[in-house]
C-alpha cells in the first residue's frame, strides 16, 4: 500500500492509500462526529454529520468524511462555523425524528456539543417519539457483523422504521452488539426483540 500526504486542520498527515478522511483525521487527533459509522462496517453515508470541507485544485466542497478517500495534496477542514451550523441542523432534524434519547448517549453528547435545538423543527412535524434516528447501525451490525439478520428496515423516507423480522427472531442470542452501536440508547439491555416492533405489527398498523 502506498502513502498519501494531505493536510488536515493545517497539520500534515501521512495516511495509507485507501484510508478515508475520517480515518486519517483520527491519526492526528481531529475529532469528526459520526452517527452512522462503525469501523467494522462499510461506510453508509446516511447521517452526514461527518461532513468536512475539502479543498483541491483551488476549489472547496463538502464531503462525508466516513466514505471519502484520502488523496495527495488534499486540504481538509474538520471544523468551521459553516460546518458547525450544518451539523447542528442535521442533529436537530435527527432529534425531531427520534423525539427522545437516553441521557449520556452518543447522540445526547452531540446535541449538547452543537447546541442543537429540535424545537426549531418540532412544531412543523408530527412524529411519534421512537428514540431512533434510523442510522442503520443496528440493522447493519446484525446482518454484516453477526450475520443474524434479526433487525431490518421497513418503509421509505420519513416512514422508514427499524423492525424485527419474526422468522429470524430465534437467531437473536442477545450478543449486545446492536445495543453497543446504537447512538441514542434506544436498545434496552433486554435486547432488540424488546426494543423494536415486529414487521408484522407495523405492516398491520398495530403500532
Ligand atoms: S458518519 Fe458519515 S455519513 Fe454518517
Please provide the average confidence, as pLDDT, over all residues in the chain. 95
Q: What percent of the chain has pLDDT over 70?
A: 99
Per DSSP, the three-state class of 200 is helix
What is the whole-number distance in angstroms between the Cα of residue 206 and the centre of ligand 1?
32
What is the whole-number distance in angstroms between the Cα of residue 201 and the centre of ligand 1?
30
What is the whole-number distance in angstroms between the Cα of residue 34 and the centre of ligand 1?
5
**Per-residue pLDDT, 207:** 87
176: left (phi over 0), alpha (psi -120 to 50) or beta: left
Residue 119: count of CB within 10 angstroms of its CB: 10
Ligand 1, residue 135: give the atom nearest the CA: 4
DSSP-derived secondary structure for 68-126: PBP-TT-EEE---HHHHHHHHHHHHHHHHHH----TTSHHHHHHHHTT--THHHHTT--
pLDDT for 123 beyond 80: no
pLDDT for 126 beyond 90: no
Q: How far apart are CA 86 and CA 34, in angstroms?
A: 13
Q: How far is CA 103 from CA 33, 38, 60, 92, 107, in A?
A: 18, 21, 37, 16, 9
Ligand 1 binding site (Cβ under 6 Å of any ligand atom): 34-37, 45-50, 64, 66
User: How buried is residue 197: exposed, middle or buried, by Cβ count under 10 Å (0-12/13-18/19+)?
Assistant: middle
What is the whole-number distance in angstroms between the Cα of residue 170 and the centre of ligand 1?
31
Residue 112: count of CB within 10 angstroms of its CB: 11
Question: Please, which residues have CB within 8 angstroms of residue 81's CB and are 6 or more apart in sequence?
Answer: none
pLDDT for 158 beyond 90: no
Ligand 1, residue 34: give the atom nearest the CA: 1
pLDDT for 197 beyond 90: yes
Provide mean pLDDT across the span 10-32.
97
Tell me the three cell numbers of residue 147.
450475520
Domains with residue ranges and CATH for the chain: 3-78 (3.10.20.740), 82-122 (no CATH), 137-203 (3.30.70)
Ligand 1, residue 51: give the atom nearest the CA: 2
Amino acid at each position: 500500500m502506498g502513502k498519501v500526504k494531505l493536510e488536515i486542520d493545517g497539520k500534515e498527515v501521512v495516511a495509507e492509500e485507501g484510508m478515508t478522511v475520517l480515518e486519517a483525521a483520527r491519526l492526528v487527533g481531529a475529532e469528526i462526529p459520526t452517527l452512522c459509522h462503525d469501523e467494522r462496517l462499510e461506510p453508509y453515508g446516511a447521517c452526514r454529520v461527518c461532513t468536512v470541507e475539502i479543498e483541491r485544485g483551488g476549489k472547496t466542497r463538502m464531503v462525508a468524511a466516513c466514505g471519502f478517500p484520502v488523496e495527495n495534496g488534499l486540504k481538509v477542514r474538520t471544523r468551521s462555523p459553516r460546518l458547525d451550523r450544518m451539523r447542528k441542523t442535521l442533529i436537530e432534524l435527527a432529534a425531531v425524528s427520534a423525539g427522545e434519547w437516553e441521557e449520556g448517549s452518543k447522540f445526547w453528547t452531540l446535541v449538547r456539543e452543537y447546541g442543537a435545538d429540535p424545537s426549531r423543527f418540532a412544531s412543523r412535524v408530527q412524529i411519534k417519539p421512537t428514540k431512533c434516528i434510523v442510522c442503520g447501525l443496528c440493522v447493519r451490525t446484525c446482518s454484516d457483523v453477526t450475520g443474524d439478520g434479526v433487525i431490518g428496515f421497513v418503509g421509505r423516507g420519513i416512514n422508514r422504521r427499524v423492525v424485527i423480522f419474526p422468522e429470524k427472531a430465534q437467531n437473536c442470542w442477545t450478543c449486545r452488539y446492536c445495543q453497543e452501536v446504537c447512538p441514542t440508547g434506544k436498545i434496552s439491555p433486554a435486547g432488540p426483540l424488546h426494543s423494536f416492533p415486529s414487521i408484522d405489527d407495523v405492516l398491520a398498523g398495530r403500532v
